[in-house]
Structure 1
Amino acid sequence: MSLREDAARVLKQWPAPDERQDALRLEYGDHLAAHPHGMWKACTEGHLTASALVVDPTRDRVLLTLHRKLRMWLQLGGHCEPEDTTLAGAALREATEESGIAGLTLLSGGPVRLDRHLTPCAWHLDVQYAAIAPEGAEAAISEESLELRWFGYDEVASVADDSVVRLLDRTRALLGVSS
């Protein structure tokens, strides 16, 4: 199965949590059907990306990156690569590369949410996961970031945009962590 086929399968099977997310799920599927190269950065009409919100082992903080190009605090993630075989694997690879943390574990059940946003290269149709860091995890900054920092849940809204806040809220709901 190709990465594109895996993405189409994931999107088809994902139980969207609400009508807006379901509309995005359908839009992403239509995009893949219309653009054979819709997984790749070279698709200037837009492309799927994969990201993950990294949660610390105590489940009370998240790791955000101050993105070098966008100058915004974001979850970890980015473009799919030719060696990626699954969307979940791409999200995990990106989170591991950008955090420097080995042993991240994605939450079971597939994506947490979807977010479509315009970037300097094209529309990103981001498939967002959540990952739990192992005990003793120490983050190490990558060339993608200006800074990496752990933020308490109550701090995220003061540094990040609404898309990150919505991702955090959905992740907390799935973890059963009250707000």
Structure 2
Amino acid sequence: MLLCYHRKGQFWVQVGGHVEPSDASLPDAALREAREESGLTDVRLVTTEPADLNRHELAAAFGACRAHWDVGYVALASTSDRVVVSDESEDVRWFDVDALPNDVPENLPSRVAYAIGRARSALG
């Protein structure tokens, strides 16, 4: 699983961001953000259906945005593709889904497990 070490949050989390006016849909926004935040060029969604929906509060470091909704998708990419650290992150790395780093949001492991189950169902 590709995670970024979020500069403001100071934790490892999935890549992602905000929907922009130029995005035609949520899946399009997810792909754009994945490419921007990781540098991956060959990334594709497993399905256009969300695999995760999560609302959480944000720390003061995030500024005026105090609550956040994550709409998550499962994407596939090659671990041999070169990753790039964006301005919003301090690091970007691949992790085994059974060996996530310690400094992740508390609910991330259960969200990952659920998303993997959704992806397996979609892939048949």
Q: The TM-score by the shorter chain falls in which range?
A: 0.7 to 0.9
The separation in 1 between residues aligned to 2:48 and 2:24, in whole angstroms, is 18
Residue 81, structure 1, aligned to residue 20, structure 2: yes
Contact 1:157 / 1:165 at 8 angstroms: preserved in 2?
no
Contact 1:115 / 1:163 at 8 angstroms: preserved in 2?
no
1:84-163 matches, within 5 Å, as 84-119=23-58, 120=62, 121-134=65-78, 136-156=80-100, 158-163=102-107
Bigger CA radius of gyration: 1
3-state DSSP class of the match of 1:146?
A: strand
Runs of 4+ in structure 1 deviating by more than 3 angstroms, as ranges, are none
Residue 174, structure 1, aligned to residue 113, structure 2: no
Task: Give how far 1:162 is off.
Answer: 3.0
The separation in 2 between residues aligned to 1:133 and 1:94, in whole angstroms, is 14
User: Any idea what the Cα deviations from partners look like across 1:93-131, whole Å, max 9, x if unmatched?
Assistant: 111100000121111151001000112313111111111
Cα-Cα RMSD: 1.9
Per the normalisation by structure 2, the TM-score is 0.83
3-state DSSP class of the match of 2:71?
A: strand
CA separation of 1:157 and 1:145: change in aligned 2, threshold 3 A: closer
Name the structure, 1 or 2, with higher relative contact order (CA <8 Å, separation 6+): 2
The separation in 1 between residues aligned to 2:68 and 2:12, in whole angstroms, is 17
Gaps of 5+ in 1: 1-61
Contact 2:48 / 2:73 at 8 angstroms: preserved in 1?
no
Aligned residues: 116
3-state DSSP class of the match of 2:92?
A: strand
3-state DSSP class of the match of 2:94?
A: strand
Q: Which has the higher helix share?
A: 1
Task: Give how far 1:145 is off.
Answer: 0.6
Per the normalisation by structure 1, the TM-score is 0.59
Identity of aligned residues (%): 37
CA separation of 1:157 and 1:141: change in aligned 2, threshold 3 A: closer
